[in-house]
Each structure stands twice: as structure tokens, then as C-alpha cells.
């Protein structure tokens, strides 16, 4: 009875203190968003996936890349430059950022390495962080825009965890960090409303964090943040001079950080436009539960391109919300007219997503414009529509939330959130079922190969990953999967090796497998030849008849 009286008096006290009421509503909103994220993470990801053992595997090729890079980085000594891993891809080494292994998390785990089990990696853990952070970032983004009411914030949280392009991003763990884009959008609103040195310093911090997660997300967030002075300029706001100065200082800082971390002067596979977005992709209901759950992503019609990287279906809730807004043109124009800068930036990101290979359904216009050399770094250009998706979702929520009729606003926001969440059910359930299914078998004899790797000090794999001939459609072929399985086993003890699958590199060696095969084995070396090169290279290994043997499909040569 006494507890009830205390609770009742506390409620009455809060009601008469508006600032406390607003604070409590904010806390409850964040708690609800956190609960939503935790429930989804536990529904989708098994506990053993979130907190893996040191000998888990095998993994899909891209997932294996992230695991291998992080394990080698954690096991290696602290070095400068900070992200270098010289024991991987010897003698050139590797950068943990170029294995898409989330350097931000890898640095934390490296600090905690003495407390972690051998071979621990946090790739699954990062997925859990992403799923919990997504709705929290959505609430923060709405509040940063100036909208502090509960319903619009919770609607945005529900929409954010139901973005098809986000749910479809599994396997590329760092690129699942879409919560950073929501923080970027919120930061833009703060810089436009009340910019200053401290807030621009915070924006620079956000960009550094984003860079330590993935370069693609960094470019997206940089475009969003630097839209702030452009918006102020278009508004003819006198603050644009100071904002531009802060932006220039932030850009200078980021260039220093990029240089320090080794992200500049790198090359990649090239092929800008190969993984572009089809112009119909945002409204093509691939994966929709309501419209056509089995519909596949609409492909780019040119040979050798995939529709998956350009997959950007908005979701039924956002589409319906945009149609509603079109029927109230005055409300629709209010936000657009006051944020022209970011509208221009988002249009530019859309054009980048479409690339110079413009496709509208199966109608294709090749090489519409000559692509600058710098754009060759962005082969998967279809990803650049992600910030546009979140901006459109936020636009829907804010515009409908400002309707004069609170009842209409509440009903429409509930409709948008409900449609978006249920429309993503097929993608969500498919992801959960895939993760609960048994792991595919190793492509190599893991039980025989593991003790060999554990008892040696150097690993040489022939051919190296970047020397395996690529298929015309760029699909992963058996030799690549086999090499990644070997490296996954090697990463358990971080044995120095000559190969790795890298997204970017500073230098690339020539593929002289014959010379590598002919070299005398060093003490402690194990040399592994994949099936495709054994006939040509195995006879070249010095003393191969005495030191080489079959381990499954592999030829394994050891110095002892």
C-alpha cells in the first residue's frame, strides 16, 4: 500500500514538471527501442553464433574473410600503422580494414585478448550489436531532427528494423552497420539547427568511428554530414560561412586519419557499375511478404552483374507512406524546401548507385558517361542508395507526424510501421532459418589439416587467393572456397601465411606459382597445393616424393 502511494505521488510530481515528463518519455522510448532490438537479435541469432567458440566454422567466403582478418589481427602484436597485419598475406601484409573485419571491434578485442579464449572472433557479436543499435539509432535520429514525441520515434524504430536492404545484407557484417547511417542523418539535423566547434568535433568523431567499421559507410556518412553547410547556404543562412569552415576543418582531419590508417593510395578489383542499382529496385517487391515473397531482386541486364548488390526495395510501409504524403503537397514540400542541401546530396548518391550503367527494368543503357578513375573504388555502387532509403523513411515519419489531426497522424504512423514490419517478415524469417540450419561441411579435411597447421610456423598456399582464375560472372568457385577454409583453420592459431582474400591493397604481387613451388621449404613450413595446380606444381617441389602427401584433395608438403 505504501509503495502504491509513493508511486502515485511520484507520477503526480512528474506531471507537474514538464521537463521531467519529457525526460521520462525519452527514457521509455529508448527502453522500448532497446527491447525491440534485443528481441529481434535473440530471435534471429543463435547464442553460439553471437558468442562463438574458437574452432567454429566453416563459413561462407566473405564471412570467412572477416573472421580470418579479425583473428589474425587479435593474435598479432601491436604495431604501427595501427591496422597492419604483416603475418597475413606475407610479405606485403594486410590491413584489417581491407578484410572488412570491423577494425573498431577488432581493436577492442585485441585489448581484451588476454581474457578471451584462443581463436575468439567477434563477427557474430557485431551482428547482435547492429540489431540492437538499429532501433536505438532510429529513435535518436528522430529526436535529433527536433521531433520529441513518442509515436513518431517508435514508428521510425520499427521501420528501421524492417528495411529490406538491411535484412538482406547478411554475410557482409561491417556493411550491416546501418545504425551509423541513422546517426549520420541525426548529426546532419543537429549541425543545421545549432552547429558549432563541439558539434562538428562530434561529427568528426562519428566519421572516424564509421571509417573504422567500413569505408563505404564512411563515404555515405561524410556525404550526409557535409550536406549541412550546403543546406544553410541554400537557405541563405548567415551561419553557412562558419559551417563551411568547420566542414573544411573536419575534412582535413579525416584526410589525416585516412592517411594514418593506410586507407589512401589503394586499388581494388575495379568495375564501377558491375553491381549497380536498377532504377526499379526501390519499388520492386523482392522479398516482400505482402506482395511477392519469392520474387528475386531485379537484375542488371548486362552480363556478369548481380541484382543482389543493387537490391534496394523500400518496403511497403515506406512506399505507402510516400503515396500518402503525395496527397498532401503542402506538408510534403515543407521538409524538402527547408533541407535542400541534403536533398541535393541524396540525389547525387542515387546517381552514384545507378552508376554509368543505367538500367530501367530490362532496358539497359551502357556507359552513359565515362567513369572517373576514383569511382573504380566503388564497384558495388548500388549500396549508395542506403542513405536515401533511411532519409525517405525519416521523411515519411516526420511529415505524417506533423499532420494537424493527431488522430490521423497516429493511425497513419501505425499503418506505416505495421506494413513495414510485416512486409519484412519473409526476409526476417528466412535469415533466422538459415542461421539455425546446420553448417555446410568443410571443403577440406579439417580434422587432418588442423594438427598439421598447429605444429608448424609458416603456411604457404599455392596458388594465392588473388592468383586463382576468376570466372566470368565473378562467382566464388570451389578453389576459392577451399583456400578460405584452409585460412579459417590457419587463423585458429594465426600461423603466418602468404595469402589472403583482400578487398583493397597497396601493392599486388605477380602470380609466379612455379617459383614459389620450386623454393626450398624452410624449417617449420607447411606448403599446401590446391587440386587445380598439383599436376603442374607438385613435381617442382624439392624432394616432393619424400615430404609431400595427400590430405583429402590437398597436397601437403612439410619440411619435417
Asked whether the predicted pLDDT for residue 204 surpasses 50, the reply is: yes
Confidence of residue 455 (pLDDT cuts 50, 70, 90): very high
Peptide bond into 281 cis (omega under 30): no
Confidence of residue 308 (pLDDT cuts 50, 70, 90): confident
How confident is the prediction for the chain on average, in pLDDT?
90
- Where exactly are the structural domains of the chain? 49-121+445-558, 125-264+271-435
Mean pLDDT, rounded, for 195-202: 92
Partnered with residue 311 across adjacent β-strands are: none
Asked whether the predicted pLDDT for residue 554 surpasses 90, the reply is: yes
DSSP string over 96-150: GGGGT--HHHHHHHHHTGGGSPTT---HHHHHHHHHHHHHHHHHHHHHHTT---H
Mean pLDDT, rounded, for 277-289: 92
Q: Is 178 exposed, middle or buried (0-12, 13-18, 19+ CB in 10 A)?
A: buried
Neighbours of 93 (CB within 10 A): 19
Q: b or e along 113-150 (b: 16 or more beta carbons within 10 Å of the residue's beta carbon)?
A: eeeeeebbbbbbbbbbbbbbbbbbbbbbbbbbbebebe
Instruction: Write down the pLDDT at residue 15.
Output: 53
Asked whether the predicted pLDDT for residue 479 surpasses 90, the reply is: no
DSSP string over 423-481: HTHHHHHHHHHHHHSPPPPPSS-HHHHHHHHHT-SEEEEES-GGGSPPPTT----HHHH
Q: b or e along 328-356 (b: 16 or more beta carbons within 10 Å of the residue's beta carbon)?
A: eeebbeebeeebebbbebbeebbebbbbb
| Spatial distance between the Cα atoms of 528 and 549, rounded to a whole number of angstroms | 10
Per-residue pLDDT tens over the stretch 330-371 = 888 888 889 999 999 999 999 999 988 888 888 888 888 887
Confidence of residue 303 (pLDDT cuts 50, 70, 90): very low
Task: Characterize the bridge pairing of strands 458-462 and 525-529.
Answer: parallel
Asked whether the predicted pLDDT for residue 504 surpasses 90, the reply is: no
Contact by Cβ (8 Å): 185, 166: no
| Spatial distance between the Cα atoms of 66 and 101, rounded to a whole number of angstroms | 4
Instruction: Write down the pLDDT at residue 306.
Output: 58
Per-residue pLDDT tens over the stretch 217-229 = 999 999 999 999 9
Mean pLDDT, rounded, for 321-331: 91
Confidence of residue 14 (pLDDT cuts 50, 70, 90): very low
Instruction: Write down the pLDDT at residue 393.
Output: 98
Per-residue pLDDT tens over the stretch 149-195 = 999 999 999 999 999 999 998 889 999 999 999 999 999 999 999 88
Mean pLDDT, rounded, for 17-41: 87
The sign of the dihedral angle between the CA atoms of 249, 252, 258, 260 is negative
Confidence of residue 18 (pLDDT cuts 50, 70, 90): low
Mean pLDDT, rounded, for 450-462: 94
Residue 511 corresponds to which cell in the numbers above?
602470380
Residue 299 vs residue 521, higher pLDDT: 521
Contact by Cβ (8 Å): 20, 14: yes
**Which residues fall within 8 angstroms of residue 270, CB to CB, at 6 or more apart?**
376, 379
Asked whether the predicted pLDDT for residue 55 surpasses 80, the reply is: no
Instruction: Write down the pLDDT at residue 12.
Output: 55
Residue 539 vs residue 331, higher pLDDT: 539
Instruction: Write down the pLDDT at residue 9.
Output: 59
Per-residue pLDDT tens over the stretch 34-46 = 999 999 999 999 9
Mean pLDDT, rounded, for 83-105: 94
Q: What is the pTM of this model?
A: 0.93
Mean pLDDT, rounded, for 374-390: 91
Q: At what angle do helices 240-261 and 197-211 cross, to 10 degrees?
A: 30
Residue 60 corresponds to which cell in the numbers above?
561462407
Contact by Cβ (8 Å): 206, 220: no
| Spatial distance between the Cα atoms of 407 and 58, rounded to a whole number of angstroms | 53
| Spatial distance between the Cα atoms of 455 and 450, rounded to a whole number of angstroms | 9
Instruction: Write down the pLDDT at residue 4.
Output: 60
Amino acid at each position: 500500500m505504501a509503495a502504491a502511494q509513493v508511486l502515485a505521488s511520484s507520477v503526480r510530481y512528474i506531471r507537474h514538471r514538464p521537463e521531467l515528463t519529457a525526460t521520462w518519455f525519452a527514457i521509455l522510448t529508448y527502453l522500448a527501442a532497446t527491447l525491440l532490438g534485443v528481441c529481434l537479435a535473440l530471435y534471429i541469432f543463435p547464442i553460439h553464433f553471437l558468442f562463438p567458440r574458437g574452432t567454429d566454422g566453416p563459413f561462407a567466403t566473405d564471412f570467412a574473410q572477416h573472421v580470418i582478418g579479425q583473428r589474425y589481427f587479435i593474435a598479432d602484436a601491436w604495431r604501427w600503422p595501427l591496422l597492419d597485419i604483416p603475418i597475413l598475406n606475407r610479405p606485403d601484409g594486410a590491413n584489417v580494414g581491407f578484410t572488412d573485419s570491423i577494425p573498431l571491434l577488432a581493436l577492442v578485442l585485441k585489448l581484451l585478448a588476454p581474457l578471451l579464449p584462443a581463436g575468439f572472433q567477434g563477427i557474430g557479436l557485431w551482428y547482435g550489436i547492429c540489431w540492437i543499435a538499429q532501433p536505438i539509432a532510429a529513435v535518436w535520429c528522430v529526436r535529433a531532427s527536433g521531433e520529441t514525441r513518442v509515436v513518431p520515434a517508435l514508428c521510425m524504430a520499427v521501420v528501421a528494423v524492417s528495411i529490406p536492404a538491411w535484412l538482406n545484407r547478411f554475410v557482409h557484417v561491417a556493411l550491416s552497420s546501418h545504425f551509423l547511417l541513422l546517426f549520420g542523418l541525426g548529426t546532419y539535423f543537429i549541425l543545421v539547427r545549432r552547429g558549432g566547434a563541439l558539434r562538428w568535433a562530434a561529427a568528426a568523431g562519428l566519421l572516424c568511428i564509421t571509417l573504422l567499421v567500413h569505408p563505404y559507410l564512411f563515404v555515405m556518412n561524410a556525404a550526409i554530414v557535409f550536406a549541412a553547410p550546403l543546406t544553410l547556404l541554400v537557405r541563405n543562412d548567415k551561419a553557412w560561412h562558419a559551417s563551411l569552415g568547420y566542414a573544411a576543418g573536419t575534412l582535413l582531419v579525416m584526410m589525416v586519419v585516412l592517411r594514418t590508417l593506410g586507407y589512401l593510395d589503394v586499388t581494388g578489383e575495379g568495375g564501377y557499375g558491375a553491381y549497380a542499382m536498377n532504377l526499379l529496385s526501390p519499388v520492386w517487391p523482392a522479398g516482400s511478404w505482402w506482395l511477392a515473397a519469392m520474387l528475386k531482386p531485379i537484375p542488371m541486364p548486362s552480363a556478369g552483374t548481380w541484382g543482389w548488390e543493387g537490391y534496394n526495395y523500400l518496403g511497403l510501409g515506406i512506399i505507402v507512406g510516400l503515396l500518402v504524403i503525395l496527397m498532401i503537397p503542402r506538408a510534403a514540400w515543407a521538409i524538402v524546401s527547408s533541407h535542400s542541401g541534403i536533398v541535393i546530396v541524396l540525389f547525387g548518391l542515387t546517381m552514384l548507385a545507378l552508376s554509368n550503367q543505367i538500367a530501367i527494368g530490362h532496358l539497359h543503357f551502357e556507359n552513359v558517361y565515362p567513369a572517373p578513375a576514383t569511382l573504380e573504388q566503388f564497384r558495388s555502387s548500388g549500396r549508395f542508395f542506403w542513405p536515401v532509403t533511411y532519409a525517405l523513411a525519416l521523411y515519411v515519419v516526420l511529415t505524417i507526424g506533423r499532420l494537424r489531426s493527431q488522430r490521423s497522424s497516429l493511425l497513419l504512423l501505425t499503418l506505416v510501421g505495421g506494413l513495414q514490419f510485416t512486409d519484412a517478415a519473409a526476409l526476417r524469417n528466412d535469415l533466422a532459418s538459415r542461421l539455425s540450419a546446420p553448417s555446410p561441411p568443410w571443403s577440406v579435411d579439417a580434422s587432418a589439416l588442423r594438427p598439421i597447421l598447429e605444429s608448424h610456423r609458416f603456411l604457404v598456399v599455392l596458388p594465392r587467393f588473388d592468383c586463382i582464375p576468376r570466372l566470368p560472372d565473378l562467382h566464388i568457385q570451389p578453389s576459392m572456397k577451399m583456400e578460405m577454409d584452409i585460412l579459417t583453420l590457419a587463423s585458429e592459431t594465426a600461423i603466418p601465411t602468404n595469402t589472403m582474400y583482400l578487398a583493397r591493397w597497396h601493392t599486388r604481387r605477380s602470380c609466379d606459382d612455379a617459383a614459389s613451388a620450386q623454393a626450398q621449404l624452410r624449417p617449420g613450413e607447411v606448403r599446401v597445393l590446391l587440386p587445380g595446380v598439383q599436376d603442374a606444381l607438385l613435381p617442382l617441389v624439392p624432394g616432393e616424393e619424400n615430404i609431400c602427401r595427400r590430405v583429402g584433395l590437398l597436397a601437403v608438403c612439410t619440411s619435417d
